[in-house]
Chain A
């Protein structure tokens, strides 16, 4: 069962629609207990990282999510759901985040239009099941003003050029997180969700 975390993110419905389109059912919850019991978790997001973090804390979801990921269970973070995994963000002053991935979230450099909005290519840096059947340099839909910078560069599985190379996909075992919105990236985006569901199924079969 795919569990989508509901902390008030506006794009929740799009993620549910994407999973339904693939023929699977998703459970939407803000209950920390259901996160603990989940087979796989999706953390969607748009807006500001600090608000998201505040909501996760208020709902008692921060620690269950930390534990879920620490146990190596299948997790997919999208956009802000990627950014809140980091140590902290510069957005709206310094705000601490979940601290699951060491590194910071920084403002995109001036010079180009902000937000970085539209379709851009993702260069695959490392092989990972999340990329199964996804062509290298495929276009995905982005909308963000801040980008993640992990201390450990080997976690960068996908990179995208916007003035500077930005990290657009993070992978660490069963942890996957994307800066772009797969639910808004057409058929290739749906492929990402499909691959994540397959990862989750494989994990359950192997008893992890």
Chain B
């Protein structure tokens, strides 16, 4: 039986892991290579790196970080953040990434999804969707945000999810901007709506605070994988602790 994946996420800025709240207020959380090796030893099923550096020099740093990590960490690595086109993606894949994640670039140029899926295979194209709940809407609705959550793209998250899968995305990384960094639980309604709307795996992200939150995202949210950052970086819970908890509650987990 396919197991549910537990994925620590490392936001990397200028070669350091950082973590913010609702996409701002960044705090230092350590060295990416050290943290990645630690999570690998602890039983992480996969790792996601989001490069939140804005400068070209920072870009070279993340390539080097990915290269060093892939030499000692033998689980899938996804790299995203600031990838603009095929060449950026190829650079990450050659450095040792298994998947690349695109967000703003996909919204600005949806053709990039098809082009990259044709070139590298759907299995390595992850589309990241940052979604924010629309207040005062009769039905629950979410809007897609781009540029690290700074600008509304003016599109409905569900419509966008369906569209990117049609274009060739092999997986979705779904972040609730409302829940991100608050450690008060994933947006279950959003996760479930997207997971039921598409045929590809969905990674739930944003809001993990307790093992129960991860359980709910997998069961009620129907996610295929759960991503978390703060609870792992600050050692609130260890990966093995969370995995034991989920396994005890009947979730198929790789122990």
Whether, in the assembled complex, A202 has its beta carbon less than 8 Å from a beta carbon of chain B, the answer is no
Is residue B93 within 8 Å, beta carbon to beta carbon, of the partner chain?
yes
Q: How many residues of chain B get a CB closer than 8 Å to chain A's CBs? A: 31
Contact A118 B224 (CB under 8 A): yes
Q: Is B127 an interface residue (CB 8 A)?
A: no
- CB closest chain-A residue, reference B5: A118
Q: Which residue of A lies closest to B94 (CB)?
A: A13
Return A168 CB to nearest CB of chain B, in Å: 12
Could you give, for residues 190-207 of chain A, a 1 whenever the CB lies within 8 Å of some chain B CB and a 0 otherwise? 100000000000000000
B102 to chain A minimum Cβ distance, whole angstroms, is 16
The A/B interface has a contact count, at CB < 8 Å, of 95
Residues on A with beta carbons closer than 8 Å to the beta carbon of B113: none
Complex: chain B residue closest to A116, CB-CB = B2
**B170 and A21 contact, CB distance less than 8 A:** no
A142's nearest neighbour on chain B, judged by CB, is: B2
Q: CB-defined interface of B203-225 with A at 8 Å, one 1/0 digit per residue?
A: 00000000000000000000011
Bound complex: CA of A10 vs CA of B71, how far in Å? 15
Q: How far is the CA of A17 from the CA of B77 in the complex (A)?
A: 14
B171 close to A (CB within 8 Å): yes
B160, CB-defined interface residue at 8 Å: no
Q: How many residues belonging to A are interface residues under a CB distance threshold of 8 Å?
A: 37
For chain B residues 202-255, which have a beta carbon within 8 Å of chain A? 224-225, 254
Closest Cβ–Cβ distance, residue A83 to chain B (whole Å): 12
Kindly provide the distance from the CB of B118 to the nearest chain A CB, expressed in whole angstroms: 9
Q: Could you say which residues of chain A place their CB within 8 Å of the CB of B170?
A: 115, 117, 143
Bound CA–CA A104/B254 (angstroms): 30
Minimum CB–CB distance from A74 to chain B (whole Å) comes to 21
Jot down 25 A-B pairs with beta carbons below 8 A, ordered by A. A14-B74, A46-B121, A47-B120, A47-B121, A47-B124, A48-B121, A113-B201, A115-B200, A117-B123, A117-B171, A118-B2, A118-B3, A118-B4, A120-B3, A139-B254, A143-B123, A143-B170, A144-B123, A145-B122, A183-B74, A184-B74, A184-B75, A184-B98, A189-B74, A190-B74
- Please report A residues at the B interface, Cβ cutoff 8 Å: 10-11, 13-14, 17-18, 20-21, 46-48, 112-121, 139, 141-145, 161-162, 181, 183-187, 189-190
**What 9 A-B pairs are tightest by C-beta distance, nearest first?**
A47-B121, A139-B254, A119-B254, A143-B123, A119-B3, A10-B93, A120-B2, A117-B201, A184-B76
